[in-house]
Structure 1
Amino acid sequence: MWTRELLKSNAKQALQGRYWRSFWVCLVLSFVGLGGASASSGSAARQTVDTAGGDNASIYEMFSNIPDNMLAALAVGAFIGAIISICWVLFVLYPLKVGRCRYFMESRQSLTPASTVVSTFRQPYGNPIIVQLLTNLKVFLGFLLLIVPGIYWDYCYTLVPYLLAENPYMSATRAMELSNQMMDGEKWNYFVLQLSFFGWLLLCAFTFGIGGFFLEPYMQATYAEFYAAMRSKALAAGMTTTDELGGFVRHDTF
């Protein structure tokens, strides 16, 4: 039976002698858009959007003074920017998210090369992208359906990236099914585990988010310990086998 204290203790032990490598890995990932604890400016951004959205008349007046040809150029630019952003998320951030899971799972056993993070850019490169896309589309649909289903499904499928890190050939149906089974009875516990970092995140806010960069390796190592506990439970309960989840034997990286 796992406890928050045990997971965090194991995470600290896993980071011994490996913290700074993990720090640089998380720092680089945050710069390309895969942030975690360091992404602390979301509330400020939402407040800015809400403030701007509250003065619709001013916005309409501003756009009404822009020539039509310039508006068309802005619309085309916005469309191209949106396409580029979607492609970046799909073809870069999705594989990196799986690679980050693999890196921290391998780091539990030994010092792991930073290149492990990009090992997912090889065969089967496309499958983890498709699986995560379908999973996130289902979660997004749940948020459209009165929000609550989206929150529930988000916790049901929180282990999908770890499953793909261990078995990148797993289908979307199987990954969602197995994650849901593994999270059965654990959703609230996982929420409390996330909530246990609130104090640290609050302190990070006082450092303008800089402290989040130093907290991120600890959080990711703790979540890796959570997956390890759920994996052991799944194997013991017969939800899966070692043929399907063969462990985190290090793959050759480039």
Structure 2
Amino acid sequence: MWTRDLLKTNAKQALKGRYWRSFWICLVLSFVGLGTVGGNSGAGAREAVNNATGNTTHVDDVINSIPDSMMTMVIIGVIIGSIIAICWTLFILYPLEVGRCRYFMESRQSLTPPSTVVSVFRYPYGNPIVVQLLTDLKIALGYFLLIVPGIYWTYCYMLVPYLLAENPYMTATRAMELSKEMMYGEKWKFFVLQLSFFGWLLLCALTLGIGGFFLEPYMQATYAEFYAAMRSKALAQGFATTDELGGFVRHDAT
């Protein structure tokens, strides 16, 4: 049975002697668009998808203020920008999100090389992209329809990137099914775990967000501990086997 204090204590222990390496990794990832401070775990890529698909707020006002002669250029620019944003999310942010999960899970056991973050760019590079895309499309559909299903599915499927980090060959159907089983009875507890960082996030806001860069490794390490607890639960209750979830690589501490 996990508790917030236990997860955070384990996270601090996992970061001993590894904090600064984790800090620089999170800092670089935040610059390419994959940060979670101010959002929830694994939300960076989803936010990019939402931004890429466009925000319709005040669209009419913006369009009316543009001269007709510039409208074609604006439309072309928006289309090109959207295509670039979608491609960046699919082919860069999705793999990096899985790689970040893999790094922090491996870092629980030993000093992990930074190259772990980009290890997903090797075969099967395409499968994690497809699985995350299908997952996020389902979540987006839930938000579009009634909002509440979107929130529910967000928490049901939030372990999908971790599952792909452990088994990049997992299908979308299986990843969503297993994540939902692992999160059964845990969604509210995880929400409270997220809220437990609220005080730190307020302090980060007082530093104009700079403090968030220092908080990010601690949050990611805590979420990795949460996945470790859910993984143990899945194996103990027979949701999965060690053939499907084979664990994470151990590295020499040199």
TM-superposed CA distance for 1:154, in Å, is 0.4
User: What residue in structure 2 maps to residue 53 of structure 1?
Assistant: 58
Name the count of aligned residue pairs.
Answer: 238
TM-superposed CA distance for 1:53, in Å, is 3.1
TM-superposed CA distance for 1:242, in Å, is 0.2
Matched-pair contact (CA < 8 Å) for 2:110–2:250: no
User: What residue in structure 1 maps to residue 100 of structure 2?
Assistant: 100
User: What residue in structure 2 maps to residue 203 of structure 1?
Assistant: 203
Report the CA distance shift for 1:173/1:224 in structure 2 as closer, same or farther (over 3 A). Answer: same
Where 2:65 maps in the other structure, the secondary structure is helix
Where 1:6 maps in the other structure, the secondary structure is helix
For normalisation by structure 1, the TM-score amounts to 0.89
Distance 2:224 2:237 in 1: 20
TM-superposed CA distance for 1:236, in Å, is 0.4
1:213-252 correspondence runs (5 A): 213-249=213-249
TM-superposed CA distance for 1:74, in Å, is 1.5
User: What residue in structure 1 maps to residue 160 of structure 2?
Assistant: 160
Instruction: Give the gaps of 5 or more residues in structure 2.
Output: 41-46, 48-54
Matched-pair contact (CA < 8 Å) for 2:135–2:176: yes
The higher relative CO (CA closer than 8 Å, separation ≥ 6) is in 1
Larger Rg: 1
User: What residue in structure 1 maps to residue 111 of structure 2?
Assistant: 111
For normalisation by structure 2, the TM-score amounts to 0.89
Distance 1:60 1:118 in 2: 40
TM-superposed CA distance for 1:61, in Å, is 5.1
Distance 1:233 1:207 in 2: 38
The amino acid across from 1:248 in the alignment is: F
TM-superposed CA distance for 1:203, in Å, is 0.7
Task: Could you list the structure 1 runs, at least 4 aligned residues long, displaced by more than 3 angstroms after superposition.
Answer: none
User: What residue in structure 2 maps to residue 31 of structure 1?
Assistant: 31
Distance 2:225 2:181 in 1: 18
TM-superposed CA distance for 1:116, in Å, is 0.3
The amino acid across from 1:29 in the alignment is: L
Matched-pair contact (CA < 8 Å) for 1:38–1:210: no
Distance 2:75 2:180 in 1: 41
Matched-pair contact (CA < 8 Å) for 2:166–2:246: yes
User: What residue in structure 2 maps to residue 120 of structure 1?
Assistant: 120
Matched-pair contact (CA < 8 Å) for 2:142–2:151: yes
Measured on the aligned residues, the alpha-carbon RMSD in Å equals 2.1
